[in-house]
């Protein structure tokens, strides 16, 4: 009982409850936002037309009148389109890996 330091315990509990610092939270928010942009449809499929399928990867989920077959936009893409898409994904991943270090 003698060594028990109420002040220290209180401080320790408070530190544990506080979690990540505001600065860390802000850094993660910014990182999250940047990644969302890097991996957004608008960016990745810029200039693509998309198809009429409900689950089109280019235009996103559709409601109402849409065909039920599978989106083949990526398979049907030209060699150039696929190359650009690959470059964008690689750049986004490399960027993300760098950020983690």
* Residues 12-41 as x/- pattern, contact with Zn ion by CB under 5 A: ------------------------------
CB-neighbour burial class of residue 96 (10 A; exposed 0-12, middle 13-18, buried 19+): middle
48 binds Zn ion (CB under 5 A): no
Closest distance of CB 78 from Zn ion, Å: 14
Exactly one of 45, 48, 51, 92 binds Zn ion (CB under 5 A); that residue is: 51
Question: What CA–CA distance (Å, rounded) separates 79 from 32?
Answer: 30
Nearer to Zn ion, 56 or 92 (CB): 56
Instruction: Name the residue nearer to Zn ion (CB basis): 1 or 65.
Output: 65
SS3 for 101? coil
Other beta carbons within 10 angstroms of residue 89's beta carbon come to 13
């Amino acid at each position: 009982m003698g060594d028990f330091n109420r002040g220290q315990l209180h401080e320790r509990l408070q530190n544990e409850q506080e979690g990540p610092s505001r600065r860390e939270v802000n850094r993660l928010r910014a990182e999250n936002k940047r990644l969302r942009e890097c991996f957004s449809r608008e960016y990745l499929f810029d200039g693509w037309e998309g198809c009429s399928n409900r689950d089109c990867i280019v235009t996103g989920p559709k409601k109402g009148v849409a065909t039920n077959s599978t989106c083949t936009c990526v398979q049907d893409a030209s060699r150039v389109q696929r190359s650009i898409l690959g470059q964008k994904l690689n750049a986004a991943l490399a960027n993300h890996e760098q950020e983690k270090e």
